[in-house]
Structure 1
Amino acid sequence: MTNDIQKQYDRHDDVASIILRMKEVYAIPDTHIRYATTKAFFDTKMTEGSSVREHGIKMLSLVEKLEDLQAGLDNDTYIDVIIQSLPPSYDPFVVNYNMNGLEKSINELINMLVQYEATTKKSKPSVLVGEASTCKAKGKGARRWKRKKGKAKAVASALSAPVAPVGMGKGKGKVGSKPIRANDVCMHCREKGH
């Protein structure tokens, strides 16, 4: 200590009075600490995409500081401020919490928020980007879909020809039969005239 400071405390007889005097001179008043802590508590906002657990722990530490400083806020006020500090992605949780009239402690609220965060991250679809691949059919089934070269033109011309609707006209709604012509294409084997 410097000589000037030592002279100030030489007048005091015991250590308790020296400590009391030092607190009076050098200590920051509780009102300033309470103001700064309250301001930090009310101004803290969770950013979108950050961890709700970390935000909850930060808010819980500020609540504990305010209780140590006897700020005079009740549990409902603390919970309201914590809920208001959440980003818009937590609006469904907030609506559910308020609609159901849940009365929870701050620790229970933080645990509920962590569970909500875990379920919303699971439910978001993840987009997988992969390389396109071609599938080649093997075995008997692959041959079934191939056309034979000679019949392809006949089938294409037969399918492109205009077809008159069958069964339209007078009657009681029954479908009439149409006579088979020599150049009609068979629906089973796709050959003409039988």
Structure 2
Amino acid sequence: MAQGSSVQSHGVKMLSLVEKLNDLKVGVDNDTYIDVILQSLPLSYDPFIINYNMNGLEKSIHQLINMLLQYETLTHKSMSAVVVGEASTSKAKGKRVERWKRKKGKGKAAATTI
């Protein structure tokens, strides 16, 4: 899965691959499918994967995809709040530096003319 793409579309793709393997009578258990899905996620899902493995959750593929959708929704909400907060503080710092430089420059000019 590419960073920034929808986990829902990725989940649908993974489900179709699982169904194709089942149609081919490949003897793979549910835990292997879960591991493949978790390994296909980008690095931004590492906290989710760690939590899933640490808590020893035993879920079906459909339950896992629903959990991933919930995680995606929660992380997008918190990410947008953080980005807005960072943008507003960095602009304020830049303005403070410009004001300080102007005042400092004016002060030197006044001091040299005396």
TM over 0.5: yes
Query: Aligned residue for 1:114?
Result: 69
Q: Tell which has more relative contact order, 1 or 2 (C-alpha 8 A, sep 6+).
A: 2
CA distance in 2, matches of 1:52, 1:99: 22
Query: Aligned residue for 2:6?
Result: 51
1:101 to 2:56 alignment: yes
Q: Pick the structure with greater CA Rg.
A: 1
CA distance in 1, matches of 2:8, 2:52: 18
Query: Aligned residue for 1:123?
Result: 78
Number of corresponding residues: 85
Runs of 4+ in 1 over 6 A off after TM superposition: none
Deviation of 1:94 after TM superposition, in Å, equals 0.2
Map residues 1-194 of structure 1 onto 2, 5 A cutoff: 46-124=1-79, 125-127=82-84
CA distance in 1, matches of 2:29, 2:13: 18
Q: Deviations over 1:139-183 (max 9, x none)?
A: xxxxxxxxxxxxxxxxxxxxxxxxxxxxxxxxxxxxxxxxxxxxx
* Structure 1 spans left out of the alignment, 5+ residues: 1-45, 133-194
How large is the Cα RMSD of the aligned pairs? 1.4
**Letter of the 2:5 counterpart:** S
Q: Deviations over 1:112-159 (max 9, x none)?
A: 000000000001124267xx9xxxxxxxxxxxxxxxxxxxxxxxxxxx
Higher helix content, 1 or 2: 2
Percent of pairs with identical residues: 72
Deviation of 1:98 after TM superposition, in Å, equals 0.1
